[in-house]
Structure 1
Amino acid sequence: MIIADDYKFHARDPEDRTWTETLFIIFSVPECAISGNIYVLTRPNMGVCHSSIEIHQGICFHPWQLHHNDSQMHLPCPEDFSNFSLPNGLTFHARNERELEYRYDSLDGVCSLELSYSAVCDPTDTNDPAQVPQAGASKVDGYDGWNNGHLEGKGRVTGTLRLRDKTYAVDCIEGVNKSWGPRNDWGNKGASWVHVELGEGLGAFFVVGIEFAGREVTYGPFKYGYVLVNGERRPLVSAELTAKRSDMLVTSALARFEDDQGQVYEARGTTVAAGPWYNFNPSSAGYQCLMRWESGDRVGHAHIADFFGQYYLSLNMADELYA
């Protein structure tokens, strides 16, 4: 069970240099094809943190096409992870486990964000068998950050984005997560973080592994997730994701998932915005895609975020060495 104090730093071995706690939120302005995120990774025993704010519009294939990409390393670690300000201009406050506030002003004044997050369901403790039937039996290969302390949330994100003298209203249903525990970021595996939204009263979240067939990306196996039906959160017993892509970016997708009551759902997604995110963690790469999801007459927007270890990408995608 997640409580407000889970946004603070957790009890830990002070000698463990790998102890890591993170924050992540995705947001979007679908009508303007804008997708963005805020990420903070802390190493409290080492007294340092890393923070990234990334925003893109439309489909961007290269890092230099992203519209805002502020990634700063070796910032001082905050004393209280539930209420802090960083030298890069980011401020965060967890009012409780369901209500979060973010503010960001870039150092050059080019970008600012004021976002409020309000959960549409209680945050999920991914290690609680009462919430996740697969807890303890379905580890995310190579990603200790998902296998130790971990919460997943879904909520309404509202506020304002100002970028390059243009101002946008933010009002979307998107995901947050928080992780804590020992974490040796080697980057030797991958996984996909999937939110599906289909209009008021129906949405889902699930995690699937990422594998390679030759140089083709495939999704699976299913790890865990839930569907939210008119406010009722139901655990998923299975989920499948297939996708077409250009380079590493998803361009269209089909999601199929089944809840613990035997109800099966299908949704087709078309990419509205996408971009490569290479600097949120030196060991990993993220490919963040804002999807327009459709199922029958239902329509909504939410993200697929494919996370690959850089080492994993090299093993599977690099050309053979020549003599």
Structure 2
Amino acid sequence: MINAEDAQFHTPDSGQTNWAETNFFGFYNAEEHLNIGVYALFRTNLGIVSSTICMNSGQATTPWHADYCDYQAAMPIPSPRNLLDYRLDNGLHVVCLEPNSVWKIDFDDDAGTRIDVTYRAIMPAFDIHDPDMDPMVSLHADDFSWGTAYNGHFDQTGHVTGSVTLRGRVIPIDCISTMDHSWGPRPERGSPNMSWLHAHFSRDLAVHAIFSFDPEDNGRQLSLTHGYVVERGRVFGLKAGTGEVVRHSDRYAQTVALELVDCDDRTWTLEANGLTTFPWQCWPNMTSFNVLARWQCQGLTGFGEIQDFFELPQLTALNSRAMTRHLPIIEE
């Protein structure tokens, strides 16, 4: 169960220099196809924090093709340390107004790009380690905690309102979206693959799910590890689910088909079409192939982000094998 104190920094494992605590807030303007991600990763035992602020509305295949990118690493963690109110050197200021419920997110790069939004939860924090919330904990012996990075982790869907200013152009934000908070040792090599995605149809219906996949078949088949349906304020943990992904040659999800079963034995069928592409380099050695997608479910249309995580050494190995398969045979 997630408690109010879990909104604050957790005591890191002694001697674990790779201990990390994260905040992620994602939101979008569906009409503009503009997807925004605000991320902070605190290496509390090292005293440093990295942060990425990204905005993208098109088919970006490199960070510099996006509408906006600011990646900064090794900034000092502000003192006194307070995850309920922190201001970073990159211009990000996050205030938790109600623990695990309401956050105010502000950003100003002093060059015409700003964020001014408020996130308000429409559900309790979903603890992936709590069997009372997440049926996958008791149904499956194999625990998926993204290595150890999700030793503590919750996902939560909420209503985000406000605006972003992109080099002087003001864009309104009024959407249902999903955030997360994680803590635990997070090495920069060896994490399993993960697809972290969600579909938001209204305040009355949203779906969030985490899947594992085999990179050898390019993540075509998805296998549920955690997730929920939030319907009219009630949370229904997912107990089974599969997915099939058709990807571009560069691994971005083009279409996704999901079949999910919740704790009330209801089956949910969802289909997505990718609208954007963006390579999010969330920390060294890791790239997430991000897509803002349009989702269909039960005659409803919604929007949400698909994040498919591959490590760079893994990608170079996969690409090398693909190139080898297509090399011409040279006869002596």
TM-score, length-normalised on structure 2? Answer: 0.90
SS of the aligned residue for 1:121 comes to coil
In the alignment, which residue of structure 1 is the partner of 2:54?
54
In the alignment, which residue of structure 1 is the partner of 2:30?
30
| Residue identity matched to 1:144 | T
In the alignment, which residue of structure 1 is the partner of 2:224?
222
Alignment equivalent of 1:257, drawn from 255, 260, 269: 260
SS of the aligned residue for 1:41 comes to strand
Q: Tell me how far apart the structure 2 counterparts of residues 141 and 119 of structure 1 sit (CA, whole Å).
A: 23
Q: Tell me how far apart the structure 2 counterparts of residues 198 and 256 of structure 1 sit (CA, whole Å).
A: 17
Q: Does 1:77 align with 2:81?
A: no
Q: Tell me how far apart the structure 1 counterparts of residues 305 and 42 of structure 2 sit (CA, whole Å).
A: 24
In the alignment, which residue of structure 2 is the partner of 1:244?
246
Q: Tell me how far apart the structure 1 counterparts of residues 145 and 87 of structure 2 sit (CA, whole Å).
A: 33
Alignment equivalent of 2:209, drawn from 206, 211, 215: 206
Q: Tell me how far apart the structure 2 counterparts of residues 198 and 243 of structure 1 sit (CA, whole Å).
A: 21
Q: Tell me how far apart the structure 2 counterparts of residues 144 and 54 of structure 1 sit (CA, whole Å).
A: 26
Kindly state the Cα deviation for residue 29 of structure 1 after the two structures are TM-superposed.
Answer: 0.4
Q: Tell me how far apart the structure 2 counterparts of residues 119 and 145 of structure 1 sit (CA, whole Å).
A: 23
Given that 2:159 and 2:203 are in contact with CA atoms closer than 8 Å, whether structure 1 keeps it comes out as no
Kindly state the Cα deviation for residue 187 of structure 1 after the two structures are TM-superposed.
Answer: 4.2
Given that 2:12 and 2:44 are in contact with CA atoms closer than 8 Å, whether structure 1 keeps it comes out as no
Instruction: Kindly provide the CA deviation profile for residues 58-100 of structure 1, in whole angstroms up to 9, marking residues without a partner as x.
Output: 2222222111110001100131122110010000111221111
Kindly state the Cα deviation for residue 22 of structure 1 after the two structures are TM-superposed.
Answer: 0.7
Kindly state the Cα deviation for residue 222 of structure 1 after the two structures are TM-superposed.
Answer: 1.3
In the alignment, which residue of structure 2 is the partner of 1:276?
279
SS of the aligned residue for 1:244 comes to strand
Q: Per the alignment, do residues 138 and 227 of structure 1 end up closer, same or farther by CA in structure 2, a change over 3 Å counting?
A: farther
In the alignment, which residue of structure 2 is the partner of 1:92?
94
SS of the aligned residue for 2:35 comes to strand
Kindly state the Cα deviation for residue 117 of structure 1 after the two structures are TM-superposed.
Answer: 0.6
SS of the aligned residue for 1:118 comes to strand
Larger of the two Rg values belongs to structure: 2
SS of the aligned residue for 2:316 comes to helix
In the alignment, which residue of structure 1 is the partner of 2:149?
145
Given that 1:189 and 1:312 are in contact with CA atoms closer than 8 Å, whether structure 2 keeps it comes out as no
Q: Tell me how far apart the structure 2 counterparts of residues 234 and 52 of structure 1 sit (CA, whole Å).
A: 32
Higher RCO, 1 or 2 (CA under 8 Å, sep at least 6)?
A: 1
In the alignment, which residue of structure 1 is the partner of 2:197?
194
| Residue identity matched to 2:8 | K
In the alignment, which residue of structure 2 is the partner of 1:294?
296
TM-score, length-normalised on structure 1? Answer: 0.93
Given that 2:135 and 2:263 are in contact with CA atoms closer than 8 Å, whether structure 1 keeps it comes out as no
Instruction: Kindly provide the CA deviation profile for residues 262-313 of structure 1, in whole angstroms up to 9, marking residues without a partner as x.
Output: 11111111122221112x2002101111111112421111111111122222
In the alignment, which residue of structure 1 is the partner of 2:108?
105
Q: Tell me how far apart the structure 1 counterparts of residues 146 and 182 of structure 2 sit (CA, whole Å).
A: 15
| Unaligned runs of at least 5 residues, structure 1 | none
Given that 1:161 and 1:167 are in contact with CA atoms closer than 8 Å, whether structure 2 keeps it comes out as yes
C-alpha RMSD of matched pairs (Å):
1.9
Q: Tell me how far apart the structure 1 counterparts of residues 171 and 44 of structure 2 sit (CA, whole Å).
A: 35
Given that 2:122 and 2:203 are in contact with CA atoms closer than 8 Å, whether structure 1 keeps it comes out as no
Q: Per the alignment, do residues 143 and 219 of structure 1 end up closer, same or farther by CA in structure 2, a change over 3 Å counting?
A: farther
In the alignment, which residue of structure 1 is the partner of 2:172?
169
Q: Tell me how far apart the structure 2 counterparts of residues 220 and 297 of structure 1 sit (CA, whole Å).
A: 23
Q: Tell me how far apart the structure 2 counterparts of residues 14 and 82 of structure 1 sit (CA, whole Å).
A: 23
Percent identity over the alignment is: 25
Kindly state the Cα deviation for residue 14 of structure 1 after the two structures are TM-superposed.
Answer: 4.0
| Residue identity matched to 1:145 | A
In the alignment, which residue of structure 2 is the partner of 1:10?
10
Q: Per the alignment, do residues 21 and 188 of structure 1 end up closer, same or farther by CA in structure 2, a change over 3 Å counting?
A: closer
Instruction: Kindly provide the CA deviation profile for residues 19-62 of structure 1, in whole angstroms up to 9, marking residues without a partner as x.
Output: 21111111100101100101111111111110100110122222
Q: Tell me how far apart the structure 1 counterparts of residues 239 and 14 of structure 2 sit (CA, whole Å).
A: 38
Q: Tell me how far apart the structure 2 counterparts of residues 134 and 266 of structure 1 sit (CA, whole Å).
A: 19
